[in-house]
């Protein structure tokens, strides 16, 4: 019997989860998680996985699959290593990639976190084949992360979503650039809520934004501090197509969070953290690839139409502006 009080299921975990673990790698690694994702021209699903070694430093390694579920062919060696000699911002590793194919450039642009003594910052690189990469270097200074490029220009400029952080706040911003090197026109997109909310105090972009006829659909993570530690869960928001700094709708509840053992137990427990997705040939089926407990990789499937309908039913407020001060 179906529970009448059950929450709607927007993302359905694959029965083969976790679909990738450190045991699948052909060279020694500690954990694999937080993969970027894209579909190549031949239909192959490519994941650019964050791989952490036993020093605690991360690099990227590509895994390819014909069906996006199993039969993964993993690069025999790291696909992209930190290059601290030429890019000192990568001294302590590269983390959490997000892939955007930009038709204007006919290239994949990868936004990632470059980690060094100065903290985490946002770096960009681009590739045509995931074999050779051209680095653009650091584009957002520390502390800043959780970044992804939009696939087309907005008002004739490239647009980058990212999450700068201070000691007191961590909100999602968008910035613009004519050349992907010089960034300005910074706007607050989405503010963390306050108080007891699931996304109070700290939020960040999860995978890149999804362009829909209704607007840019954002899947974002919220962090709630509890007596047992932090909880990373996912919510939805929608932004204007031509003015993406304008939040049109913001869901009130979270819609996906840690439930299974592989999501609750690991190097960092109680974390579901997607950095990539693919869209099916029907233009609606969404496959979300996510890091589970900073240890392994899971797959969850959903519908873009269902997410937009859920936002209609569960959004009672916008969210681009900061909450009013207490008192």
Cα(75)–Cα(20) distance, integer angstroms: 13
- pLDDT mean across residues, the chain: 94
Cα(244)–Cα(159) distance, integer angstroms: 9
Q: Model confidence over 191-207: pLDDT tens digits? A: 999 989 999 989 999 99
Instruction: Give Cα 61 distance to the centre of its chain.
Output: 17
Output DSSP code: residue 20: B
Per-residue pLDDT at 3: 53
Per-residue pLDDT at 317: 62
Token pair 């690189």 is found at 125
54 falls within a domain: yes
Confidence check: pLDDT of 5 > 80: no
322 falls within a domain: no
- Give the number of other CB atoms < 10 A from CB of residue 291: 27
The residues that bridge with 309 in the sheet, in sequence order, are none
189 falls within a domain: yes
Q: Model confidence over 227-250: pLDDT tens digits? A: 777 889 999 999 999 999 999 999
Cα(197)–Cα(240) distance, integer angstroms: 24
57 falls within a domain: yes
Residue 96 parent element (H or E): strand 94-102
Confidence check: pLDDT of 327 > 70: no
2 falls within a domain: no
Q: Can you tell me the mean pLDDT for 75-86? A: 97
Q: Can you tell me the mean pLDDT for 21-26? A: 98
Q: Which of 157, 313, 311, 318 is nearest to 235 (CA)?
A: 311
Q: Model confidence over 139-174: pLDDT tens digits? A: 999 999 999 999 999 999 999 999 999 888 899 999
Per-residue pLDDT at 225: 80
Confidence check: pLDDT of 316 > 90: no
Cα(231)–Cα(245) distance, integer angstroms: 27
Instruction: Output the CA torsion sign for 317, 9, 296, 36.
Output: negative
The domain that contains 199 carries what CATH number?
A: 2.115.10.20
Per-residue pLDDT at 323: 45
Q: Can you tell me the mean pLDDT for 287-296? A: 98
Q: How many structural domains compose the chain?
A: 1
13 falls within a domain: no
Question: Do 123 and 94 contact (CB within 8 A), yes or no?
Answer: yes
Instruction: Output the CA torsion sign for 96, 112, 274, 43.
Output: negative
Query: For residues 296 and 325, which has the higher predicted lDDT (pLDDT)?
Result: 296
Per-residue pLDDT at 4: 59
Q: Can you tell me the mean pLDDT for 115-132? A: 97
Residue 56: partners with Cβ closer than 8 Å, 6 or more residues away: 93
Q: Which of 314, 213, 219 is nearest to 274 (CA)?
A: 219
Say which range, 2-6, 124-128, 186-190, has the weakest mean pLDDT: 2-6
Taking phi over 0 as left and psi of -120 to 50 as alpha, with beta for the rest, 10 belongs to: alpha
Q: Model confidence over 219-231: pLDDT tens digits? A: 999 988 877 778 8
119 falls within a domain: yes
Question: Do 260 and 13 contact (CB within 8 A), yes or no?
Answer: yes
Output DSSP code: residue 23: G
Cα(201)–Cα(198) distance, integer angstroms: 9
213 falls within a domain: yes
Confidence check: pLDDT of 37 > 80: yes
Q: Model confidence over 171-189: pLDDT tens digits? A: 999 999 999 999 999 999 9
Give residue 189's domain range: 29-314
Confidence check: pLDDT of 1 > 50: no
**What is the DSSP track for 265-291?**
SSSS-SBEEEEEEEE-TTS-EEEEEEE
Q: Can you tell me the mean pLDDT for 57-83? A: 98
Say which range, 108-117, 162-171, 265-274, 316-325, has the weakest mean pLDDT: 316-325
Per-residue pLDDT at 321: 46
């Amino acid at each position: 019997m179906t529970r009448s009080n059950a929450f709607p299921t927007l993302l359905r975990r694959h029965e083969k989860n976790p679909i990738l673990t450190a045991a699948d790698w052909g060279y020694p690694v500690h954990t694999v998680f937080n993969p970027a994702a894209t579909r190549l021209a031949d239909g192959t699903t490519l994941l650019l996985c964050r791989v952490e070694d036993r020093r605690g430093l991360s690099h990227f390694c590509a895994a390819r699959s014909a069906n996006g579920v199993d039969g993964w062919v993993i690069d025999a060696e790291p696909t992209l290593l930190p290059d601290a000699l030429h890019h000192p911002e990568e001294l302590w590793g590269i983390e959490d990639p997000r892939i955007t194919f930009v038709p204007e450039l006919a290239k994949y642009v990868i936004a990632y976190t470059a980690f060094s003594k100065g903290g985490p910052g946002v770096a960009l690189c681009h590739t045509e084949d995931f074999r050779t990469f051209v680095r653009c270097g650091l584009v957002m200074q520390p502390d800043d992360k959780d970044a992804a490029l939009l696939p087309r220009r907005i008002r004739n400029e490239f647009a980058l979503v990212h999450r700068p952080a201070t000691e007191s706040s961590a909100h999602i911003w968008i910035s613009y650039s004519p050349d992907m090197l010089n960034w300005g026109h910074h706007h607050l997109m989405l503010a963390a809520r306050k108080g007891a909310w699931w996304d109070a105090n700290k939020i960040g972009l999860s995978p890149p934004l999804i362009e829909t006829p209704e607007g840019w659909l954002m899947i974002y993570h919220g962090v709630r501090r509890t007596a047992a530690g932090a909880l990373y869960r996912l919510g939805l928001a929608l932004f204007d197509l031509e003015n993406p700094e304008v939040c049109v709708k913001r869901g009130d509840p979270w819609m996906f969070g840690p439930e299974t053992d592989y999501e609750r137990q690991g190097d960092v427990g109680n974390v579901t953290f997607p950095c990539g997705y693919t869209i099916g040939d029907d233009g609606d089926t969404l496959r979300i690839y996510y890091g589970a407990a900073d240890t392994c990789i899971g797959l969850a499937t959903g519908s873009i139409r269902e997410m937009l309908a859920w936002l209609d039913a569960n959004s009672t407020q916008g969210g681009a502006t900061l909450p009013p001060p207490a008192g």
